[in-house]
Amino acid sequence: MKELLLLPILRSSVQGDLLALLFLNPEKELTISDAARTIGVSIPGLHHEAVRLIEAGFIKERRQGRNRLIRAEVNSRIAPSLTDLLALTFGPLPVLERELAGISGISEGYIFGSWAARYSGISGAIPNDIDVLLVGTTSLESIDEALGRAEKALMRDVNVRRVTAKEWREGSPFIATIKKNPHVKLNL
């Protein structure tokens, strides 16, 4: 398991990813399977963390047939502070995926730089900004509104660089550096 450097007071990175997914998308209610698929972990691993968080009152569940649906417990006293902590630490993935989803002309997206390094388990200072690479033909003007919402939710700057699919495949010194260092794929 990778070292937990984004918010080391949490039990695991799966717990951080799950809490961020739910608290930064409070309107969402997900099945355990959907949450595991979104985060990219096994269903049993996510189920174990979800049960712990349900028992602690951080998330709530509802049964629908055989499905167990989970969502953030936004009415708890800790919810506002926890949401802020999650936005500053695990937040870039769920927030950027939510804000950039469905924008035409984006074929791939990656977070790179200091946040991706911390997420990958490389120690260092808390990231002051979020670096994003978008692959595709979308214009930066077409994503301004989405980036504004992401910056507000994440409480820091989001720096975006766009490259074409050909530039991503063929590479440049900049692309080679991104590919060589930690980078986290966005599910767009």
Are 126 and 78 found together in one domain?
no
Are 63 and 127 found together in one domain?
no
Q: How confident is the model at residue 1 (pLDDT cuts 50, 70, 90)?
A: very low
Residue 9 scores a pLDDT above 70 = no
Distances (CA, A) of 138 to 31, 47, 79, 108, 163: 32, 37, 35, 11, 9
122-146 pLDDT tens trace = 988 889 999 999 999 998 888 999 9
Contact between residue 120 and residue 13 where contact means Cβ atoms under 8 Å apart: no
Amino acid at site 5: L
- Domain of residue 172: give its range: 93-185
CATH of the domain at 52: 1.10.10.10
Contact between residue 36 and residue 46 where contact means Cβ atoms under 8 Å apart: yes
Are 119 and 81 found together in one domain?
no
Are 104 and 180 found together in one domain?
yes
pLDDT, position 71: 98
Question: Token pair of 45, please?
Answer: 């691993």
CA distance 129 to 88: 10
Structurally, the chain folds into a number of domains equal to: 2
Are 85 and 119 found together in one domain?
no
Contact between residue 184 and residue 93 where contact means Cβ atoms under 8 Å apart: yes
pLDDT, position 11: 79
H or E element, residue 169: helix 165-170
Residue 104 scores a pLDDT above 80 = yes
CATH of the domain at 113: 3.30.460.10
Domain end, chosen from 90, 119, 153, is at 90
Are 72 and 103 found together in one domain?
no
Domain end, chosen from 67, 90, 113, is at 90
